[in-house]
Amino acid sequence: MTVGGFTLREARPEDVPAIFGFVRALAEYENLADEVEADEACFAAALFGASPRAHALLAEISGVPVGFALWFYNFSTFAGRPGIFVEDVFVDPAYRGNGIGRAFFQALARRALAEGCRRLEWWVLDWNQPALHFYRSIGARAMEEWTVQRVSGPALAALAATEENHHG
């Protein structure tokens, strides 16, 4: 789909280096570069392996990648329907303000509706005012009554190693 001088398209295996480059640039922008554990092989497996766990869209200008959106399906037990969780959206700073971010969210909203999904969801850092302003402009609302919970690293390993002791 070509819009406003850029094209959105589904990612292909040869796009993995560009996707990984965008992930690293996003991590640097969010001051989280030291948390990137992934490498290109991780993205190749997750996006294009035997059992893909994620999907991606790329934005291009004259065939050059300038941004990406990476997403996966989640599920709402209350709605009884799937949703789309947008893990990351990143547009190269030189190309921001051209509608690329909005086009990513529009494309994902169209996909969600076409596939019977009930919602798009994502996280945003609370200090990222430009992103928060943009999200409000597209109709997003904060889920302030909810907090994100996470178990990872050594805590994940410890939880998994906990001896089962089920009564019943």
Active site positions, annotated? 135
pTM for this entry:
0.91
**Mapped to the 3 state alphabet, what secondary structure does 57-82 carry?**
EEEEECCEEEEEEEEEEEEECCCCEE
Say which CATH superfamily domain 2-161 falls into: Gcn5-related N-acetyltransferase (GNAT) (3.40.630.30)
Task: Count Cβ atoms within 10 A of the Cβ of residue 83 and give its class: 0-12 exposed, 13-18 middle, 19 or more buried.
Answer: middle
What average pLDDT does the structure give for the chain?
94
Give the list of residues 6+ apart from residue 36 with CB closer than 8 angstroms, or none.
Answer: 23, 24, 27
- At residue 167, the pLDDT reads 61
Q: Which residue ranges make up each domain of the chain?
A: 2-161
Instruction: With residue 3 as reference, give the H or E element that holds it.
Output: strand 2-3
Give the list of residues 6+ apart from residue 48 with CB closer than 8 angstroms, or none.
Answer: 13, 16
pLDDT digits (tens, 9 = 90+) for 86-145: 999 999 999 999 999 999 999 999 999 999 999 999 999 999 999 999 999 999 999 999
